[in-house]
Amino acid sequence: MVALTEKTKKRLTMQTGEIAVETTAIRSLDWDRDRFDIEFGLQNGTTYNSFLIRGEQIALVDTSHEKFRQLYLDTLKGLINPADIHYLIISHTEPDHSGLVKDVLQLAPDVTIVGSKVAIQFLENLVHRPFKRQIVKNGDRLDLGNGHELEFVIAPNLHWPDTIFSFDHKTQTLFTCDAFGMHYCSDSTFDEDLKTIEADFQYYYECLMAPNARSVLSALKRMAELEKST
């Protein structure tokens, strides 16, 4: 599925893939984006990631940027009836994660939005409509059934104050928001050639995470505690 926006002629594509048991990545590939947060120049575009976790109940982790509205929603509908989604987990409220929350709410009005206290407060000012919510703290868990029990890690300032990680105990998958990511666009769902992406990863870390190095260390400590609880 490919779209060229009329004004900019930028290439936008979608890709889906199974990354773990009953877990699907929905990747919004922004091939030609050349700048992010105004000040950061991009050499290789960027990617916005969303995830479906199918237990006895279904959770959607993050949405996508609003520029992908129709492409993303069509892709989501091809995977699942959005009305069947029980939980929408928002890792944080930057537009590439939460840009389509309002649209998902229209398709799934009974969904419960899960996030940190700060994220829920931000969303109230973004969607301008009532919604079910569940505020989570560090160590809180959400049982989706069929072994998919999500545990949440509060990770403020990586790189927004509302950031959370979500850890699925069944698949041992940790959804880390932006903390260990980079701006990069590729057909490869997984990082298959580390040398190719090393410069982009380092640039991203130095721009966004290094200024909050103490928060990175705190998040790493909490991640280590997840291993002890499995």
| pLDDT 10s digits, 45-92 | 999 999 999 999 999 999 999 999 999 999 999 999 999 999 999 999
Fill in the amino acid letter for 213. A
The C-alpha atoms of residue 206 and residue 219 are separated, in whole angstroms, by 17
Residue 200 has pLDDT above 60, yes or no: yes
Q: How far apart are the first and last CA of the chain?
A: 38
| Model pTM score | 0.92
Domain chopping of the chain, boundaries = 14-229
Q: Is the CB of residue 26 less than 8 Å from the CB of residue 79? A: yes
Structure tokens of 139? 């160590």
Q: What is the 3-state secondary structure (H, E, C) of the chain?
A: CEEECCCCCCEEEEEEEEEECCEEEEEEEECCCCEECCCEECCCCEEEEEEEEECCCEEEECCCCHHHHHHHHHHHHHHCCHHHCCEEECCCCCHHHHCCHHHHHHHCCCCEEEECHHHHHHHHHHHCCCCEEEECCCCCEEECCCCCEEEEEECCCCCCCCCEEEEECCCCEEECCCCCCCCCCCCCCCCCCHHHHHHHHHHHHHHHHHHHHHHHHHHHHHHHHHHHHC
- Which class is domain 14-229? alpha beta
Predicted pLDDT of residue 5: 52
pLDDT band at 207; cut points 50, 70, 90? confident
